[in-house]
A and B are shown apart, each in its own frame.
Chain A
Amino acid sequence: DGGITQSPKYLFRKEGQNVTLSCEQNLNHDAMYWYRQDPGQGLRLIYYSQIVNDFQKGDIAEGYSVSREKKESFPLTVTSAQKNPTAFYLCATADSYNSPLHFGNGTRLTVT
């Protein structure tokens, strides 16, 4: 069954802790993206990767890090430097330069 798998669905962490969100895809898409969604603010781009071992910062990359060691995987680490990490995080993929984004089901992160 082809798709994008994000895990976990819900994640709780204490302030000062780093946490890693998983995104795996078996669609064989080249490009992968991380977006953050807050109420009333739409989707904001954190990082994206066009190919393995390469990634670019999006509009709100501060306090986040990523890696792209395999085509199928694009994990996002939320570091303690991110001042307001509580949000809904969406991973997406695209198979070519001008194709629609396909989204995973998201991870809701709550930091207390």
Chain B
Amino acid sequence: EDKVVQSPLSLVVHEGDTVTLNCSYEVTNFRSLLWYKQEKKAPTFLFMLTSSGIEKKSGRLSSILDKKELFSILNITATQTGDSAVYLCAVKPGTYKYIFGTGTRLKVLA
């Protein structure tokens, strides 16, 4: 059965800290892995990763995929209170389906 597991489930840090969120997966015929940020309502797209070892960056956020070990990490440096959200990882196998993990709830304290 295809599955996506995120860790930790929740995390509390102080502004300025660096955090690493984890996503491991087991799917047949892997196509891509996606990261989303969800605040109050609609998840917003952060990154899509298809190749191992290639880091994607956007400001203070970065992500990398390891297709051999079947995991990805999302790093956030110099965290701000606006980074507080649920971060979702999703994997797309060889179908039209996207399989989501349960998410990591991040709270950044001022």
Name A residues whose Cβ lies closer than 8 Å to a Cβ of B: 31, 33, 35, 40-45, 48, 50, 56, 58, 90, 94, 97-106
Contact = CB atoms under 8 A, between A and B. Distances in A.
Closest 4 CB pairs of A and B: A42-B102, A43-B100, A103-B42, A105-B41
Given A41-B102, A42-B88, A100 B45 contact: yes
A106 B42 contact: yes
A48 B61 CA distance: 30
Interface residues of B, number: 22
30 contacts: A31-B96, A33-B98, A40-B9, A41-B102, A42-B88, A42-B101, A42-B102, A42-B103, A43-B100, A44-B100, A45-B97, A45-B98, A45-B99, A48-B96, A56-B96, A58-B97, A90-B43, A98-B31, A98-B50, A98-B92, A100-B48, A101-B34, A101-B45, A101-B90, A102-B45, A103-B43, A103-B44, A105-B42, A106-B41, A106-B42
